[in-house]
Amino acid sequence: MGRGVCTTLALMLRMQRCSEPGCERHTVWDRGTCAGHERGLEELVREVSARLVAERELSGMSLAGLTLHGLDLRERRFDFCSLSGSELSFLDFSRCRLRYVYFDFASVLHCTFREADIGMCVFGGARIEDCDFSGSDIIQSNFLGARCLRSSWSDSDLYSSRFVSAQFRDVEMRNCNLKEVHFDLPPDLSDAEAAWEAAPRLGIDLRSSNTRDAVYGGKR
């Protein structure tokens, strides 16, 4: 993200700079420090987890750098929230509505986003393993440089999302709308048959998706 975007996001998240001298990170939750300098981190994680489960909607909150595990967050609504650099495991975001939620450089392990409505979200540089995004609308979202392992986006509308420089291993994107989706994959994948034949090498199964409508390294 550019500096301007960071500043805008910080304002929307009502974040300030960490009060620890020399620390450039932003504050977490309602605290005066970042997660790394928060002294009552265990209590904070308990407080945040309870609030996440209790609330139906969450807006403008920073959860950056927190470790969150095993939460049922189905059908929640998140707007302008940061989970940047967080360690997330066994979280259930099924049928959630996410807008401008930042998962950049987070570890997202064994998380479910089935039938979620995801728009303008950022997973850049994230580690995504054993996750299920199937049956979702994932519009104009960014997976730039994400490392994707054993995960599925099948039966999803991925319109205008970006997987540039992403790494894939054992990934399924079957029966997806790939219109204007950007990949670094070779342009010959515009042929669905070639895409399937190349799948073991590329680590991604694109069968039954409209691969011709995707953008490959700037070439359609």
217, 190, 181, 184: which is closest to 203 by C-alpha? 184
Out of 1, 12, 14, 20, the only residue in the binding site for Zn ion (CB under 5 A) is: 20
Output phi, psi for 190, to 5 deg: -65, -15
User: Which C-beta is closer to Zn ion: that of 2 or that of 21?
Assistant: 21
Binding to Zn ion by residue 127, rule CB under 5 A?
A: no
199 touching Zn ion, by CB under 5 A: no
Instruction: Return the range that interacts with Zn ion (CB under 5 A); candidates 1-9, 36-44, 92-100, 127-135.
Output: 36-44
Nearer to Zn ion, 23 or 41 (CB): 23
- Class of residue 87 by CB neighbours under 10 A (exposed 0-12, middle 13-18, buried 19+): middle
10 touches Zn ion by CB under 5 A: no
Pick from 117, 109, 153: nearest CA to 183: 153
Is residue 23 at the binding interface for Zn ion, with CB under 5 A as the rule?
yes
Q: Which is nearer to Zn ion, 30 or 193 (CB)?
A: 30
Cβ proximity to Zn ion, 18 vs 146, nearer residue? 18
Exactly one of 13, 15, 25, 71 binds Zn ion (CB under 5 A); which one?
25
CB of 108 to Zn ion, least distance (A): 23
- The residue within the footprint of Zn ion, chosen from 15, 18, 44, 116 (CB under 5 A), is 18
- Non-local CB neighbours of 50 within 8 Å, separated by 6+ positions: none
Q: How far is the CB of 25 from Zn ion (least distance, A)?
A: 5
211 to 65, 110, 173, 179, 191: CA distances (angstroms): 36, 27, 10, 8, 7
Is residue 133 within 8 A of residue 156, CB to CB? The reply is: yes
The number of residues in the chain equals 220
Taken in order 30, 31, 32, 36, is the CA torsion positive or negative? Answer: negative
Taking the least distance from each CB to Zn ion, the nearer of 18 and 91 is: 18
- Verify binding: residue 121, Zn ion, rule CB under 5 A: no
Distance from chain centroid for Cα 45: 20
Q: Which residues bind Zn ion (CB under 5 A)?
A: 18, 20, 23, 25, 34, 37
